[in-house]
Amino acid sequence: MWQSIVPPPGAWAQSGAKASTDAPPPVAAAPAGTEADKAPIRLRMQTAFNPGVSVLGEAGRELVSTLKRVSGGKLTIKILEAGAKAPTAELLDAVQRGDVDAAFTTPAYAAVREPALMLFASLPFGPTPEEYVT
């Protein structure tokens, strides 16, 4: 399950591990100016929404456009239509398996596993879809 990659709150403290072992391992970065810095990054992002749909579909396209712009063109994301690699309700599992690199979805689909996510999905008289994307 996708949530199994996140330890429960306080898990490290309960294990008796010392603070120095709680830190994640250092990430090795390529020196600045190397070919790794210049190589484009291409990701596949499946959406839960038809990209042609008003508001939610537009939001996915706008995200892709903005990320490409702010990365100076280094990051490009190909949008995969709903259901292209995985059923919409299983998008987070598909990301974990590596079937897709990212998912543009709603927390409502993950709320089956973590009910608290419904706070961010839909509330009576809460934010409209337009308010979420502005």
How far from 134 is each of 59, 78, 129, CA to CA, in Å?
9, 22, 9
- pLDDT tens across 3-37, in order? 444 445 555 445 444 444 455 555 555 556 666 66
SS3 of 133, please?
A: helix
- pLDDT tens across 68-118, in order? 999 999 999 999 999 999 999 899 999 999 999 999 988 888 888 788 877
Bridge partners of 76, per DSSP, are: 42
Phi/psi at 16 (5° precision): 80, 5
